[in-house]
Each structure stands twice: as structure tokens, then as C-alpha cells.
Amino acid sequence: MFEKSRSLLSRAQRVIPGGVNSPVRAFKSVGGTPPFIAKAKGPHMWDVDDNKYIDFVLTWGPAIIGHADDRVVERCQAAMARGSSFGAPTEIEIDLAEMVVDRVKGVDVLRLVSSGTEACMSAVRLARGAVHREKIIKFKGCYHGHADCFLIAAGSGALTLGLPNSPGVTKGTAKDTLLASFNDLESVEALFKSNKGEIAAIIVEPICGNTGCIPPQEGFLQGLKTLCEENESLLIFDEVMTGFRVGRGGAAERYGVTPDLFCFGKVIGGGFPLAAYGGREDLMRQIAPDGPIYQAGTLSGNPVAVSAGIETLKRLDESAYAELERLGSYLEKGMDEIITRRSLPLSQTRVGSMFGLFFTDKKIDRHEDVAACDLEKFNTFFHAMLKRGVYYAPSQYEAGFLSLLHSEAILDEVLEHADAVLGEVFS
Ligand code: KE4
């Protein structure tokens, strides 16, 4: 089933760390050989051994209108024929920026960059430079890319001082990142109390998407905003995954909480290397060349990526989000029926077309709860579904995604496989 992928993996491992260009693709947490993908179209991918998959990863979120959309392909080909990058301003960068400003309340000005990491690290630099403080608060289990200040594990002790969670991250960097628990406002208040006047910002995924999918509890996001206002710190929503995924205006609109700064990625680039950060005008005007806070990028806003982003966002109108909600609910209800009929120790989370399936019967409120899941059973489920042509994210700590093309017929196929597989896994 995976012969060609196996031989490609050993060839790849000779010249690329782990044979992959991003660690999660190596299937380390689920084991086995990652399929090398040959092509994708709509809700499907095919690997080099010609196995076909219903794709719930969607390149970790971007392919919300489906892979290789005809109009996106057309627009990108036309843009490419005019030159892929000029290192100079273009009109379509303004078009995309105006689309985001129009869709997202609280974004007055934004800057396009090339990855979610770049967006998040730039937003943190801006916050620190604007309020002249050095510390930030992030949440255990939230991921904001691989910038040093984010690769921090929870330290011990009440102060929850950060510790590097990767070699190469200095203690000097780690001391300025504090760790709190998601959906736990007291853990945030404690950090503000023990670091009075030193915290520049909170950065948070408004819906956790990197420890499975964990929605915010009622009042949590507003509570963060209030704590920031009381402490003259800034609130940064990392909407790299949720932006334009969970609604036209992202999670900020869905939960009615407007942060000071936003980070976007994934969907905004329609599968191309394109991300952005933006927010309050008084803050964004401090970014060079308007202001002194530096950030730059050779390929930022390149016309091919921007063309893909514009075409994708154009397709994401209210009817598209209603359809994504309908399909998400269809899958959730179908899984719920199986879980109830078979009385399985599984719990589901979902926000629109972003979902989590956790191998525990406990409620999932934060990262610590996910760590208590039966990861072995998840791995068995993952591989059994993969063999049946359903490609879940290769980790219990990742979210799943639907596209507009994951029709009810396709979801029925998934549910049939899931029913059979879960029967075996829990027999
Ligand atoms: P990138 O630098 O990978 O474009 O974005 C980093 C990032 C920032 N913020 C959030 C909320 C994110 O989810 C991400 C990246 N997400 C992972 C998926 N869990 C990307 C997959 C990967 O690392 O290969």
C-alpha cells in the first residue's frame, strides 16, 4: 500500500531532516510511513502509490474551498505569466488588504508576510515596541510558529516562568515568555499580579487548534481583553488557523471580542505562503517605514500568492460559511450517533468546519486534558482510517478541517468507515 512512499522516505531522509520539511508530516506521533502525496483535487488527495484519501487536514487548514480550485489555478497561472515577484508594490496587494480590513472589525491596517510564524513574531515585536515592555503571556498547547519566544515549555512554580522547549532557544528569551492555561482566567491573573507592569501582551489562539480543537469557554476571551485593558497590555489573537475559517470575520467576530492585533495565515493565502498581521491603526503605524519597529520580507505580498488569497476569500461569503457549518454539524451528529450507539469513550469538539475527536470521555477544556487521552487508541484509529482512505491529522494534538466540497455523501463514507473501525478499536 505504501511501497513508493517508503522508498521516497528513505531517499528524502538522506538529504532532508526526517525526510520532511515540517516535523508533523513525519508521522512521529502516530508511527508508520507518511504517504508522499502526488496530487490533490477538491476534498481528495492521491499518494504516489495511487491510494486515494478523503482529506481532513487540507494542508493544515488553507484548502477550505477544496484543493486545486479551477478559478484559483487560473488566477495564479495568469499572475505567474506576469511575473511571480517584483520586490515592489502591486495593486493586488492593496485589493487583498482592503478585503481583510472590510471583513475583520478591528483591522485598520495590515502587513502581508509569508508565514504564520512571521505574522506572530512580528505582532509580538510590535506589541513589545509599542508598550515598551518585554514579557508576553502565551497558553500551554497553543502554537504560534517556531519563533524563539514561542518555543517555551511551562516552567515549574507559581510564576510559571518559561523554559526553552527546544535547544537553541536561550534562557534570556525564555524568561520573557510566561505560560498560562487556556480557559483559566485565574492563571492569567496570577501572571499579571506577579509581573506587574512588565507584560507587553497576551497572544492566544482564540480557538485552540494545535492541541486538537478546543473552543473558548463563555467569557474567557472577554476576560483576557479586560485583563489586558486593566494592565495596559495588548491582546493579540493568533487567527492563523481560525481566521476566515470559522467565519467571515474569524473568531473575533464569532465571539464578539476585538483584540488589539490579529495574526492571519493559511486560508488568507489559499494554500500559498502568505500570512498577515494587523490591527489598530495607532499600533500598525509604528511598523517601518511608517514607524521605527522593523519588519521586512523579500516575497511578502507576492502577486501569485495574493491572487490565490483573493480568489479564496472571494468565495467565502455568508452562504459558504452556512454550508461549512451545515457540513460540520452533519459530521458531528453522525459521529455522535456512533459514539452513543456503541457507548464509546470519545468526545468531540467543533467550531464551524474545524473539529476535534478526542479519545477520552472527559470534557476537553485545555491542553492538559488532551494529554490524558488514550493516544494508543487514537493511533490505531488513525492508521485504520488511513488504510480505508480517510486522512485524519496524524496526531491527537491537531485539529481536523472540512472544505466546501466535503459533501454529505463523502461524510457518509467517512462515517461508515469510522463506525467499523471504532467497533474494532474498542472491541
Ligand atoms: P506557519 O509558520 O507554519 O505558517 O504558521 C505557524 C502557526 C501559527 N499560528 C497557528 C495558530 C498555527 O496553527 C500555525 C501553524 N499550524 C501548524 C498546524 N498545527 C502548521 C503545520 C506544520 O507545522 O507543519
In the predicted structure, residue 408 carries a pLDDT above the cut 90: yes
The residue contributing the CA closest to ligand 1 atom 18 is 60
Proportion of the chain above pLDDT 90, given as a percent: 95
Claim to verify: residue 159 and residue 60 sit in the same structural domain = no
Structure confidence at residue 153 (pLDDT): 80
The residue contributing the CA closest to ligand 1 atom 1 is 116
CA 82 – ligand 1 centroid, Å: 30
250: left (phi over 0), alpha (psi -120 to 50) or beta: left
Q: At what angle do helices 70-81 and 303-315 cross, to 10 degrees?
A: 150
Q: Active site includes 362?
A: no
CA 205 – ligand 1 centroid, Å: 11
Pocket test for ligand 1, best of 112, 240, 267 (most atoms within 8 A of CB): 240
Per annotation, catalytic residue among 55, 238, 260, 374: 238
Claim to verify: residue 237 and residue 211 sit in the same structural domain = yes
Rounded to the nearest integer, the mean pLDDT of the chain is 96
> Which residue, of 264, 286, 315, is where some domain finishes?
315
**362: CATH:** 3.90.1150.10
Pocket test for ligand 1, best of 57, 142, 144, 262 (most atoms within 8 A of CB): 144
Average pLDDT over residues 161-190: 91
Pocket test for ligand 1, best of 139, 210, 214 (most atoms within 8 A of CB): 210
CA 211 – ligand 1 centroid, Å: 12
- Tell me the C-alpha to C-alpha distance, in Å, between residue 348 and each of 253, 254, 365, 396: 23, 20, 11, 12
Per annotation, catalytic residue among 135, 138, 266, 377: 266
| φ and ψ of 19, to 5 deg | 75, 10
CA 28 – ligand 1 centroid, Å: 17
Q: Is the CB of 24 under 6 A from ligand 1?
A: yes
- Please write the tens of the pLDDT for every residue from 215-239: 999 999 999 999 999 999 999 999 9
- Please write the tens of the pLDDT for every residue from 368-400: 999 889 999 999 999 999 999 999 999 999 999
Claim to verify: residue 328 and residue 409 sit in the same structural domain = yes
> Which residue, of 257, 282, 315, is where some domain finishes?
315
Claim to verify: residue 337 and residue 356 sit in the same structural domain = yes
The residue contributing the CA closest to ligand 1 atom 19 is 210
In the predicted structure, residue 162 carries a pLDDT above the cut 70: no
Q: Active site includes 55?
A: no
Claim to verify: residue 124 and residue 249 sit in the same structural domain = yes
For the chain, the straight-line distance linking the first and the last C-alpha, in angstroms and rounded, comes to: 25
Q: Is the CB of 328 under 6 A from ligand 1?
A: no
- Please write the tens of the pLDDT for every residue from 95-122: 999 999 999 999 999 999 999 999 999 9
Structure confidence at residue 1 (pLDDT): 86
Reported as type and span, the H/E element at residue 423 is helix 408-425
Secondary structure percentages of the chain, helix, strand, coil, to 5: 40, 20, 40
Residues of the domain holding 236 = 70-315
Claim to verify: residue 116 and residue 24 sit in the same structural domain = no
Claim to verify: residue 217 and residue 331 sit in the same structural domain = no
3-state secondary structure 49-110: CCCEEEECCHHHCCCCCCECCHHHHHHHHHHHHCCCCCCCCCHHHHHHHHHHHHHCCCCCEE
CA 52 – ligand 1 centroid, Å: 25
Point out the least confidently predicted range of 34-43, 156-165, 320-329: 156-165
> Which residue, of 275, 290, 315, is where some domain finishes?
315
| Count of domains for the chain | 2
- Please write the tens of the pLDDT for every residue from 265-311: 999 999 999 999 999 999 999 999 999 999 999 999 999 999 999 99
- Please write the tens of the pLDDT for every residue from 203-216: 999 999 999 999 99
Pocket test for ligand 1, best of 20, 60, 203, 205 (most atoms within 8 A of CB): 60
- Please write the tens of the pLDDT for every residue from 393-405: 999 999 999 999 9
Average pLDDT over residues 356-361: 97
Residue 98, C-beta contacts closer than 8 angstroms, at least 6 positions apart: none
Grid coordinates belonging to 233: 497590555
Claim to verify: residue 237 and residue 352 sit in the same structural domain = no
Strands (E), 323-378: 347-351, 354-358
Structure confidence at residue 159 (pLDDT): 47
> For ligand 1, what atom is nearest to the CA of residue 399?
19
* C-alpha 75: how far from chain center: 25
Please report, to the nearest 10 degrees, the dihedral formed by the alpha carbons of residues 327, 329, 333, 334 taken in order: 10
Grid coordinates belonging to 344: 464509546
Q: Is the CB of 205 under 6 A from ligand 1?
A: yes
Structure confidence at residue 335 (pLDDT): 98
Per-residue burial over 98-122, b if 16 or more Cβ lie within 10 Å, else e, is: ebbeebbebbebbbbbbbbbbbbbb
At residue 387, what is the residue type? K
Claim to verify: residue 252 and residue 151 sit in the same structural domain = yes
Beta-strand pair 44-47/135-139: unpaired
| Residue (of 119, 130, 148) closest to 297 by Cα position | 119
**144: CATH:** 3.40.640.10
CA 144 – ligand 1 centroid, Å: 7
Q: Based on the number of CB atoms within 10 Å of its own CB, is 426 exposed (0-12), middle (13-18) or buried (19 or more)? A: middle
Average pLDDT over residues 334-340: 98
CA 143 – ligand 1 centroid, Å: 7
Residue 401, C-beta contacts closer than 8 angstroms, at least 6 positions apart: 56, 57, 58, 60, 61, 63, 64, 245, 353, 354, 355
Q: Active site includes 412?
A: no
Beta-strand pair 162-164/390-391: unpaired
| Residue (of 311, 292, 278) closest to 97 by Cα position | 278
Neighbours of 172 (CB within 10 A): 9
Per annotation, catalytic residue among 53, 55, 69, 143: 143
Claim to verify: residue 224 and residue 81 sit in the same structural domain = yes
- pTM here is 0.97
